[in-house]
Amino acid sequence: MAVQLRKHQLIAVDKLDNGKILWGGVGSGKSITAVAYYMKKEAPKDVYVITTAKKRDSLDWESEFSKFGVGKTRDGTVAGVLNVDSWNNIGRYQHIDDAFFIFDEQRLVGSGDWTAKFLAIAKRNRWILLSATPGDNWLDYIPVFLANGYYRNRTEFKHQHVVYNTYTKFPKVDRYIGVGKLVRMRNELLVEMPYRSHTTPHPKEVLVGFDQKLFDKVWKERWNPYENRPIRDVSEMFHVARKVVNSDPSRLAGIRALMAMHSRLIIFYNFDYELEILRTLSTDERTESVTISESSLPNTSESESSKFLTPVLVDSTRNDGVISSKLSDSGIGLLKNPTITNPTLESSLRESSRAARTAANLGSRSISNRIDPLAEALATPATTDNLTIAEWNGHKHQQVPTTERWVYLVQYAAGGEGWNCITTNAMAFWSMPYSYKQWRQAHGRIDRLNTPFVDLYYYTLMSLSLMDLVISQSLSKKRSFNEAAYVKGK
């Protein structure tokens, strides 16, 4: 084989077969492994790759196949003809026969149109799936189980394995039965690619403020302050509460401080209103001009609350880089029975209290007067000189900049997967997503086998609001946050 594969990739090539899932962490080299498998066991069939629109447009797959001499024309390939398209166009290929399909960054959840088209293709062709997070629960495996002939349809699977809670108004799984059989089938299909990464992640939290009074108006009074009317439903309540938290000016101060520490920074965000704030990074504003209101502080004494006046950098004890805080009911105001699981956070806050009281005694609420791990960066915030700002979202599809100083604004849903960057080792999260899969996929954009960096830095902007805490708690347990389930379980 002309291309040199790593040991974990060679093992995976030998284990792979039709209908299996190549399971590897983000950056483990799944793409090159899939191509090597095709050349060894599936060539000279024509090969179709169904991937993300971003990965299709960046020609990543064409680059990987070209290493083995596989091209997109009959007279320009040593094996079959290569076709690469996005999941949005999967319907174009459901009538293809006797070819080989690679389903990349799999989207087979539920019983939607993509799943139906996938099942049609699987009946007529050979195929494999590539995934970094193959399934959050057993229901996620149904499409692959059906494609492999383990069950005739979803109804048969649910009849054999799913027990629903009869006391809820919406379908909620109470428990699974016959789990031993499910585990055996899953183990037959998963081909794992474990490997020892040369990188070391350094997850950190940047503690920022939020408007407690405005948050209470949303959460307790069910009032939408942006449209000056009552909130209609639970979904709107969560959306507005997140906007209150995620729009706080201290977040922009935290980002500017990080820009002073890292000349190249990837920033992930969720919503358009966050993007509008982030776009102001192009203006040269001094960080100390940003002031946090009294209402952004937890309901504590002056000496205690003052420690939350500015962004504070906190080392995380967990690889996923989220906070599970040791806080009193009075400290966060809304959470009942908070758990105690992060002594590092408690210690960091305790150690910073003296400096915080000193800043408070100066009689100023200005961020620049706080002494904390970000003090040097806050005192000398990043300027916009020679700064390039690029975006990947539903509005713009710009590539990662190649200049010396840049920020890359990426929306989770649009650009959380299917690309990579090895020209920076720093990433910031303006807000956290609900989806654990999106969370892990985003982290992996800079954690690649070919990155020249050893130390990777992940910064999560984190307030002590109820919203940030409950989302953080779900992600720390490797679960997606569910609004309806949270409300039912309160």
CATH number assigned to the domain comprising residue 143? 3.40.50.10810
pLDDT of residue 488: 59
How confident is the model over 66-89, as pLDDT tens digits?
A: 999 999 999 999 999 999 999 999
Whether 409 maps to a domain, the answer reads yes
Tell whether 398 is covered by a domain: yes
Residues 177 and 266 grouped into a single domain: no
Residues 151 and 243 in one domain: no
Domain that holds residue 123: 7-192
| Confidence (pLDDT) at 109 | 66
The answer, yes or no, to whether residue 478 has pLDDT greater than 50, is yes
Are residues 227 and 128 part of one domain? no
Picking from 145, 164, 192, the residue at the C-terminal end of a domain is: 192
pLDDT digits over 428-468, tens only?
Answer: 999 999 988 889 889 989 988 788 999 999 999 999 898 99
Q: Is the pLDDT assigned to residue 306 strictly greater than 60?
A: no
Shared domain check, 412 and 349:
yes
**98, part of any domain:** yes
- What pLDDT is recorded for position 350? 37
Q: Can you list the alpha helix ranges (DSSP code H) found in 16-139?
A: 30-37, 53-57, 60-66, 113-124
Whole-number Å distance between alpha carbons of 161 and 139: 10
**What sign has the CA pseudo-torsion 294, 296, 300, 302?**
negative
Query: Taking residues 39-53, what's their average pLDDT?
Result: 94
Q: Does the residue 1 lie in any domain?
A: no
C-beta of residue 34 within 8 angstroms of C-beta of residue 17:
no
Q: Is 283 left (phi over 0), alpha (psi -120 to 50) or beta?
A: beta
Examine residue 254 and state whether it is found in any structural domain, yes or no: yes
Per-residue confidence band for 265, with pLDDT thresholds at 50, 70 and 90? very high
Q: Is there a single domain that holds both residue 325 and residue 454? A: yes
Residue 292 Cα distances to 190, 230, 278, 365, 402, angstroms? 50, 27, 18, 7, 35
Q: What is the CATH number of the domain that holds 216?
A: 3.40.50
Handedness of CA 67, 72, 73, 74 (dihedral sign): positive
> No. of H helices and E strands in the chain?
20, 17
pLDDT digits (tens, 9 = 90+) for 354-374: 333 333 332 323 333 333 445
Higher-confidence position of 307 and 124 = 124
Both 176 and 222 in one domain: the answer is no
Identify the H or E element spanning 237: helix 234-246
The CA-CA-CA angle for residues 41, 118, 43, to 5°, reads 15
Structure tokens that stand for 155 in this block:
């109804």
Are 322 and 184 within one domain? no
Distances (CA, A) of 181 to 175, 176, 187, 351: 15, 11, 10, 52
Q: Is residue 271 part of a domain?
A: yes
Q: Of 192, 225, 260, at which residue does a domain stop?
A: 192
Co-location of 306 and 371 in the same domain: yes
Last residue of one domain, picked from the residues 192, 218, 251: 192
Structure tokens at 350: 């305790």
Residues 224 and 322 occupy one common structural domain: yes
- The answer to which of 141-145, 344-348, 428-432 has the lowest mean pLDDT is 344-348
In this structure, what DSSP letter does residue 291 have?
B
Average per-residue pLDDT for the chain: 79
Same domain assignment for residues 249 and 158: no
CA 187 – CA 20 distance, rounded (Å): 10
What mean pLDDT is predicted for residues 405-426? 90
DSSP secondary structure of 242-256: HHHHHT-HHHHHHHH
Is 2 domain-assigned?
no
**Which backbone phi and psi does 120 adopt, to 5 degrees?**
-65, -40
Same domain? 456 vs 340? yes
Give yes or no: residues 476 and 446 share one domain.
yes
Residue 338 has pLDDT above 60, yes or no: no
Please tell me the least confidently modeled range out of 88-92, 264-268, 299-303, 371-375. 299-303
Beta strands in 326-475 (DSSP E): 387-392, 405-411, 426-429, 455-462
Q: What radius of gyration do the chain's Cα atoms show?
A: 25
Q: What is the pLDDT of residue 170?
A: 67
Question: For 379, what's the count of Cα atoms within 13 Å in the CB-facing half-sphere?
Answer: 8
Q: How many domains does the chain have?
A: 2
Q: How far apart are CA 89 and CA 405, in angstroms?
A: 37
The answer to whether residue 83 is domain-embedded is: yes
pLDDT tens digit sequence for 270-291? 999 999 999 999 875 544 333 3
Q: How confident is the model at residue 302 (pLDDT cuts 50, 70, 90)?
A: very low
H-assigned helices in 267-391: 272-278, 302-305, 329-332, 343-361, 375-379
pLDDT of residue 282: 82
Q: CA angle 481-487-490, nearest 5°?
A: 105
Q: What is the pLDDT of residues 85-122, one digit of tens each?
A: 999 999 999 999 999 999 987 667 666 788 899 999 99
- Give the tens place of pLDDT for each residue, 164-189: 877 666 677 888 999 999 999 999 99
Lowest mean pLDDT among 47-56, 266-275, 370-379: 370-379
Cross-strand partners of 82: 47
